[in-house]
Structure 1
Amino acid sequence: MGRTIAPYSRQMLQIEENLSDFRRSLRKSDQEIYDDLIRTAKLQVQAGVMASLPYPIDSMILSMLIETKKEINELKKILTKIPDK
């Protein structure tokens, strides 16, 4: 018996292809941010595989949000160490 759904990594690539027109319509600077977000989602592919969500975009977006929140938290830590004037 074969697989009934495509592997998660293949589904991620399909989503990326489906959003190619969206990406192309973004400003150049926003395209770079978009590309960073896609790379972030790909870094968390193992978590997406385990999530077993019917829509892989959900786990991709959650992965992007997690990484973004980590960066924000790190920046907050740095800012708290800067003395007030």
Structure 2
Amino acid sequence: MGRTISPYSRQMLQIEENLSDFRRALRKADQEIFDDLIRIAKLQVQAGVMASLPYPIDSMLLSMMIELKKELNELSELKKKLSKELNLS
């Protein structure tokens, strides 16, 4: 018996290809952000493989949101730290 589901990494590439027209329609700066988000999803490929979700885009989007939330948390902490330093001066 053959495989009924293609590997997750191949499904990710297919999604990226399916979104190529969407990407092309974006402004240049937004294309770069789109590319960054795709890179983020690819960094989390192991988690996506383990998720066993029927739609790989779900785990890709979750991976992107997790990374963005981490960055947001870091910026928030930096803002608090800088705010404290400015209030003490």
Q: TM-score, normalised by structure 1?
A: 0.97
Task: Work out the percentage of aligned pairs sharing the same amino acid.
Answer: 79
Report the number of matched residues. 85
Per-residue CA distance 1:12-48 (angstroms, 9 max, x = gap)? 0000000000000000000000000000000000000
1:5-84, aligned counterparts within 5 Å? Answer: 5-82=5-82, 83-84=85-86
Q: Aligned equivalents of 2:40 and 2:51: distance in 1?
A: 16
Larger Rg: 2
Which 5+ residue runs of structure 1 have no aligned equivalent? none
Gaps of 5+ in 2: none
Counterpart amino acid of residue 49 in structure 1: V
Report the TM-score, using the length of structure 2 for normalisation.
Answer: 0.92
Q: Looking at secondary structure, tell me which structure has more helix per residue.
A: 2
In the alignment, the residues of structure 2 paired with residue 23 and residue 77 of structure 1 have an alpha-carbon distance, to the nearest angstrom, of 32
